[in-house]
Structure 1
Amino acid sequence: MHQSLDIAAILRRAEQFSPHREVVSREPDRSCHRTTYGELAARARRLASALLRLGLEPGTRVATLCATHRQHWEAYYAAPIAGLVTHPLNPRLHPDDIAFIADHAGDRVLIVDEAFLPLYEQIRDRTPFRNVVVVGTAPPGLLGYEQLLATGDPEWQPAELDERSTALVTYTSGTTGRPKGVEVSHRAIAVHALSSALPGWLAIRDDDVVMPVVPMFHALAWGWPYTAALLGAKQVLPGPFLDPDSLLELIAGERVTLTGGVPTVWMGLLNTLDAAPGTHDTSSLRAVLSGGATAPPAMIEGLRGRHAVPLVHTWGMTELVMGAVANLTWDLQDAPEDEQRPHRYAQGVPMPFLEIRARGDAGYVAWDGQSLGELEIRGPWVAQEYVGAPEASAEQWTDDGWFRTGDVVTISDRGYIRIADRAKDLVKSGGEWISTPELESALMDHPAVAEAAVVAVADEKWTERPLAVVAFRPGTTATPEELREFIAPKVARWWLPERIEIVEAIPKTAVGKFNKLALRQQYDTPTDTPDAAKADS
């Protein structure tokens, strides 16, 4: 009963019970490297030994600047089982942010893809790295990954680990200020893997083929490198190639059954499938998980209805990795489609061991599917504070230890969370709330609209009004007036945005979400809105 819940135990199980199960990793030349859990586990242990031979003290941060591939997978295990800490850096962030994060975390070792060496050169003089290890061809003065691996002891085994010690560090993307770090313990990873794999959530089995499209440098790839290994499922690591054609090639070729990523990835996939119906084989998929932002209903129904691709809504954050999955509960399995649909559009029911509540202006709100409040959550893998940021921690955690998510939600009587908006993104117009995801979904129902983002902009009369930014599908167009007419039956009249800006593409954050901060900065100029805009308020 006192066996440590740690990453070493996950690796041991994969090595002992699934040694011949395949792991496929896409290489920089687009070829697929094939290995097994047995081979990867042996290499991870050897890498752990090699890292220790660099003279690293317990708790030392080992940063990675890598795509989703087999060497990154090895580092996910090697540093934690050696008593060190893996710290995935996001190469999509601005170099200034990457340098800040590496310095703030105190990273001492960097494992970097050869393709990211130009980025490393931009941050080199502002980071605390003492050893730099290159996956690929190492230039003079740097150490090659295989060269480092060769220095490790192939017989090395991890010592007993403290399950509450830090295994990984991950940072927020910093879109609303400086990035903030979160420490993730061995125990958190183990319990998260157990909970997420259960039936009703990911339901992973050893005959699954799991492909994390969410990168390993973002939200720990939702914990999938650990969860799939624990269950012995085949893993497909797509490398840097996350375009629709590359993903569809892997889905068909490897018979992927479960995959997950952000909505912009699946919107691109839907457009590719729509452009050539019947060309791509997606019949192996039992679920495509979408998280990181609200998935437009038109996209969910397009994938499910036109291409039999079952997209499942999820919700999570850097501070808690994965938190909820929108599978249908037992009492909805045989319900009419009209009753099932709103539950599929919700963010889902929290995973086992997670507790939720929502706080409104007058206190905690009822679970009635209508009352709005900011979602608060606690559980065994929810962070307790930010690294070295006591003021930010005090602001984000309640006095009794619940994490304030910043998501404004309703909670149904079945426990389904539905996000109305991020607290910072809600439009408060004349004292009334307008949900930007609902407006975005209504706009993306239009056949010409590929992407739509809605932000609050200052207004002299109503304080704030919604502004929509829209990008069209190739070869299509519509006027702002036509778009307003299209969504008018779907939303309250006073929700209709007076300003609709047409762009070629909506700017994205480093993790593929719409960059609403950039949009607000670009378009937030006060206007004098006609009284008609609020006539029905």
Structure 2
Amino acid sequence: MLTTMMDRPLLISSLLWHAENVFPDRVCVSCDGDRGDREFTYRDLGAAARRFAGAFDALGIRFGTRVATLAWNTFEHLVAYYAVPACGAILHTVNHRMSPDHIAYTMDKAEDEVVLIDADLLPVFAEVFPRLPSIRHVVVFGSLDGIDRAVSATVRWWSFDRLLRDAAPIEDFPEFDETTASSICFTSGTTGLPKGVVYSHRSTVLHAMAISAVGGVAIDGSRSYLLATQMSHVHSWGVPHAGVLQGARLVLPGPHPSPAELLRIATEQTPDVVVGAPAVAALMRERFDAEPGRYDLGSVRTLWLGGQAPPSGLVNWWATHGVTTVNGWGMTETSPMGTFSHLPANQGRPLPLFQVRIVDEEGRSLPWNGFTTGELQARSPWVTGTYLDNDRAADAFDDGWLRTGDVAVIHPNGEVQIHDRVKDLIKSGGEWISSVELENQLLLHPAVLEAAVIAVPHETWQERPVAWVRLTDQVTDDELRTYLAATLPKFWLPDTFVRVGRIPTTSVGKLDKARMRRLWAENVTV
């Protein structure tokens, strides 16, 4: 028997339609530095997206055209989030914090033809453009005044503002198969060249609906979200899609979102949710404490962190200001959200339609008993099944499951608790040491502001832990070891503590342990 239901495709344009028609007057804000804080409604967003789409013929944007963005969290970037995929083109959000080699690699691999860019990121583009023969058009968010357009005679330059002013808006976005590619995001490339993940309209809409569901993230139209996580990487954790679907107030922090600027925005725009990485939350704490009385966090009720489990000291600091910390887990490969927890000590339960398991080294499923560890694997309608450069996918998948590279336990109630990355576990004298547990204990010491633990080769024990620390006060190695020995086995204690002015992080704010291992091998610190 066939269904009697309508066969309507799940398209990103349907998210925008809902916001335009159900929440047209909901006011959001784009905080744009020198341009000030600009308010816009979802009616404005829809009108701008349709007008920008009306300029696509002039830009050579057709069905399937790859359109790159090198942009901050702004209104213009949000317009591109909808206009480009809604017309069947493919949005490639380029993480401008990656190295020039990785940026060039990703844009070449994606075969980008059009670049949408903030003016202050033009030096990044100029450095990689000679390696990108497919680029035909560059659209600058804002005006072209004062911009050197001599990068190539084969490229046409456009002002986004003028395009919107001159274009005739399209009335209706086209319909097509929901499995059509909507956007491309690359992994941060900490263990080699970045790997490309191609999201579909279907996967993006389902992800937006899943993180809107009660019991998980529960994106709420009555709340206001300050997006301190990059729109240039994994869709800013899906909030620009789910937030629009739910009619939430989005607060976009604009160019160069420094800790001081984020605190200013939190003070003046009064969001009640801050979304970002633990590193961002830690920097905001430092700035807040450095200028007592200047900033006000009174409106913030929830700090939504992701990327890695937040240290308890950071959670406790925000709690003293009346802020509850929640924690999400995911990867570029998972769009990114997979699990969500209201308890920051673990990664929480899988979202609806997201399945997890843990397996042993032979790939056999392990019990969910809260203490048996194995590699975490996942599958879902919004988990990738391969990579854009799929010749590198052979070891990343196991019989239809994504191998996450995380070592975890799953509790009987479905809560996932990640112990470490497979590549970051330390094998010392035949015993395993968790770098994450060591870091968490170090961060409880009052003198330790940041900590990262890596494995280094050892002639006798195979590997030994070395801790990189950023300190607020003087403390000796022996004092740190004595502190750790109160809760950890003696053989876990680091052989060496490296004191640094900053701990290396990736382009998305995670601890860059691959770089730390390289620097250690080269006898270099930062």
Q: TM-score, normalised by structure 2?
A: 0.93
Provide the C-alpha distance between the structure 2 equivalents of 1:268 and 1:317, rounded to a whole number of angstroms. Answer: 23
The answer to whether the aligner puts 1:200 opposite 2:248 as a matched pair is no
Q: Say whether the 8 Å CA contact 2:90–2:182 is kept in structure 1.
A: yes
Displacement of 1:74 in angstroms is 0.4
Could you say which residue in structure 1 is the equivalent of 2:361?
Answer: 361
Contact in 1 for aligned 2:94/2:103 (Cα 8 Å): yes
List per-residue Cα deviations over 1:98-135 (Å, max 9, x = no partner).
Answer: 01110000001000110011111111111121101111
Quick check: 1:312 aligned with 2:309?
Answer: no
Q: CA deviation at 1:424?
A: 0.9
Report the Cα distance in structure 2 between the residues aligned to 1:364 and 1:153, rounded to whole angstroms: 57
Residue identity matched to 1:133: V
Structure 2 contact 54–170 (Cα < 8 Å) conserved: no
Aligned length: 506
1:520 and 2:520 aligned? no
Query: Take 1:347 and 1:277, find their aligned partners in 2: how far apart are those partners?
Result: 33
Q: 1:133 aligns with which of 139, 143, 148?
A: 139
Matched, 1:457 2:437: no
Task: Give per-residue Cα distances to partners, 1:487-509, cap 9 Å, x unaligned.
Answer: 11121111101111111111111
2:115 match: secondary structure: strand
**Does residue 387 of structure 1 match 2:380?**
no
CA distance in 1, matches of 2:114, 2:291: 46
Q: How many angstroms apart in 1 are the aligned matches of 2:143 and 2:60?
A: 24
2:84 is matched by which residue type in structure 1?
A
CA distance in 2, matches of 1:523, 1:102: 31
Shift in Å, 1:277: 5.7
2:482 is matched with which residue? 485
Question: Among residues 228, 233, 256, which one is paired with 1:213 in the alignment?
Answer: 228
Alpha-carbon displacement from aligned partner over 1:229-263 (angstroms, at most 9, x marks no partner) = 10111110001243222212222322212221111
Instruction: Tell me the CA shift for residue 5 of structure 1.
Output: 1.1
> Contact (CA 8 Å) 1:349, 1:416: kept in 2 or not?
yes
CA contact (8 A) 1:195 1:352 kept: yes
Q: Is the 8 A contact 1:52 1:82 kept in 2?
A: no
Matches within 5 A, 1:341-380: 343-361=343-361, 363-380=364-381
The answer to whether structure 1 residue 68 and structure 2 residue 65 are counterparts is no
- What is the CA–CA distance in structure 1 between the aligned matches of 2:439 and 2:321, rounded to whole Å? 23
Residues 263, 288 of structure 2: 8 Å contact kept: no
Deviation at 1:444, TM superposition (A): 0.9
Aligned match of 2:123 in 106, 118, 122? 118
Q: Determine the C-alpha separation between the residues in 1 that align with 2:259 and 2:68.
A: 29
Structure 1, unpaired ranges of 5+: 328-342, 527-537
Percent sequence identity is 39
Partner of 1:8: 13
* Structure 1 stretch displaced more, 130-139 or 76-85: 130-139
**Pick aligned residue for 2:252 from 214, 228, 237:** 237
Give runs of aligned pairs for residues 50-129 of structure 1, distance below 5 A. Answer: 50-127=55-132, 128-129=134-135
Tell me, yes or no, if structure 1 residue 498 matches structure 2 residue 495: yes
SS of residue paired to 1:222: helix
Letter in 2 for 1:460: E
Partner AA of 2:390 in structure 1: A
Partner of 2:49: 44
Q: Secondary structure at the match of 2:333?
A: coil
Partner SS, residue 148 of structure 1: helix
Letter of the 1:429 counterpart: S
2:33 & 2:301 partners in 1: Cα distance? 28
The separation in 2 between residues aligned to 1:287 and 1:428, in whole angstroms, is 38
CA 1:181 to 1:46, structure 2 compared with 1: closer, same or farther past 3 Å?
same
Cα-Cα RMSD: 1.7
Give 1:122-161 correspondences, 5 Å limit. Answer: 122-127=127-132, 128-138=134-144, 139=147, 140=149, 142-161=157-176
Q: How does 1:286-297 map to 2 (within 5 A)?
A: 286-297=301-312
Aligned residue identity for 2:263: L
Cα displacement string for residues 342-364 of structure 1 (whole angstroms, at most 9, x for unaligned residues) = x5300111111000001123522
Letter in 1 for 2:377: E
Aligned to 1:249: 264
Shift of 1:525: 8.3
1:365-444 counterparts in 2 under 5 A?
365-390=366-391, 392-399=392-399, 401-444=400-443
1:181 to 196, 201, 222: 196
CA distance in 1, matches of 2:404, 2:460: 31
The answer for the alignment partner of 1:337 in structure 2 is none
Contact 1:326 1:348 in 2 (8 A): yes
Three-state SS of the structure 1 residue aligned to 2:211 is helix
In the alignment, the residues of structure 2 paired with residue 62 and residue 151 of structure 1 have an alpha-carbon distance, to the nearest angstrom, of: 20
- Of residues 152-161 and 204-213 in structure 1, the stretch that sits farther from structure 2 once superposed is 152-161
What is the alpha-carbon distance in structure 2 between the residues aligned to residue 294 and residue 206 of structure 1? Answer: 27
Deviations 1:446-498 (CA, angstroms, capped at 9, x unpaired): 1111110000100111111111001113xx22111111111111211111011
> How far is the alpha carbon of 1:156 from its aligned partner?
3.2
C-alpha contact (below 8 Å) 2:143/2:162 kept by paired residues: no
Letter matched to residue 519 of structure 1: M
Q: Provide the rounded CA distance (Å) in 1 between the counterparts of 2:117 and 2:270.
A: 30
Matched residue, 1:266: 281
Aligned-partner SS, 1:406? strand
Task: State TM-score, norm by structure 1.
Answer: 0.91
Q: Secondary structure at the match of 2:344?
A: helix
Cα offset, 1:185, TM superposition: 0.6
Give yes or no for contact 2:53–2:84 (8 Å, CA) kept in 1: yes
Task: Go from structure 1 to structure 2 and tell me whether the alpha carbon gap of 1:431 and 1:70 turns closer, same or farther (over 3 Å shift).
Answer: same
